[in-house]
Amino acid sequence: MEDMRYLTFALGKGRLADKTLKLFEKIGITCEEMKDKDTRKLIFVNEDLKLRFFLAKGPDVPTYVEYGAADIGIVGKDTILEEGRNIYEVLDLGFGKCRMCICGPKEAGELLRHHELIRVATKYPRIATDYFYNKKYQTVEIIKLNGSIELAPIVGLSEVICDIVETGSTLRENGLVVLEEVCPLSARMVVNQVSMKMENERITKLISDLKTVINEN
Ligand code: PRP
């Protein structure tokens, strides 16, 4: 234990982090300091287990993991696909389930069917580009937005959007529908490629412990 180095976890801020901590508790990994909602601290330590945790913006998690500033990251599959970093994706955590979809007003279905040159608004230009160009062989204009993507077809910025659908209520309340499904999404565990070799035993044990509790659910 003495010469063990810290394993560092980068957690995507928000709902994912809360669920991750609950899951980790089930395998005996706790981090009491992190539960304090009012803290401005950025890094939390479990001295006994030689673990460190920090919270980061979702899209930054794969960056920390690729460079080895974090050994392990917990982040949505959407972010993994969009960031395209050199990291290992090792486990589906089974929560944060949702879908990446092409959505718009019902009428926009015709434009998709006829491969029209349409505008696609999205927070995920890489995923949208890959879907339209490499899977559908359809030329489109991708417009990058940073949030409230559903606004775009309503105010006439784009014909469709490429966005996350969870319950579907944002779409419903704005008169939009799912036109095509791009891929299913959920929270994933990612690992730095060097850490996977250097800390193989600890990381493999962590993965197998997590698998056991995930399968119990
Ligand atoms: C996400 C997504 C949709 C909504 C989908 O947005 O971009 O807008 O949630 O959820 P639903 O199907 O359950 O309605 P988020 O709340 O993360 O904020 P954003 O619009 O700023 O991206």
CB distance 81 to 182 below 8 Å: no
Report the sign of the C-alpha dihedral through residues 108, 111, 115, 118, in that order.
Answer: negative
Give the model's pLDDT for residue 36: 78
Q: Which residue, 215, 209, 194, 153, is CA-closest to 25?
A: 209
| φ, ψ at 129 (rounded to 5°) | -65, -45
pLDDT band, residue 31 (cuts 50/70/90): confident
pLDDT of residue 33 exceeding 90, the answer is no
Q: Report how far Cα 29 is from the mean position of its chain's Cα atoms.
A: 22
| Long-range pairs, 113-116, Cβ under 8 A, ≥24 | 115/139, 116/159
96: left (phi over 0), alpha (psi -120 to 50) or beta: left
Pocket test for ligand 1, best of 163, 173, 185 (most atoms within 8 A of CB): 163
**Hey, which of 16, 166, 174, 185 would you mutate to test ligand 1's pocket, going by the most ligand atoms within 8 Å of its Cβ?**
166
Tell me: pLDDT of 27 over 60.
yes
The pTM (predicted TM-score) of the whole model is: 0.94
Average pLDDT over every residue of 53-61: 96
Per-residue pLDDT tens digits for 122-156: 999 999 999 999 999 999 999 999 999 999 999 99
pLDDT for 98 equals 97
Per-residue pLDDT of 106-116, as tens digits, reads 999 999 999 99
Q: Is it the case that residue 2 has pLDDT exceeding 70?
A: no
Which atom of ligand 1 lies nearest, measured to the CA of 170? 14
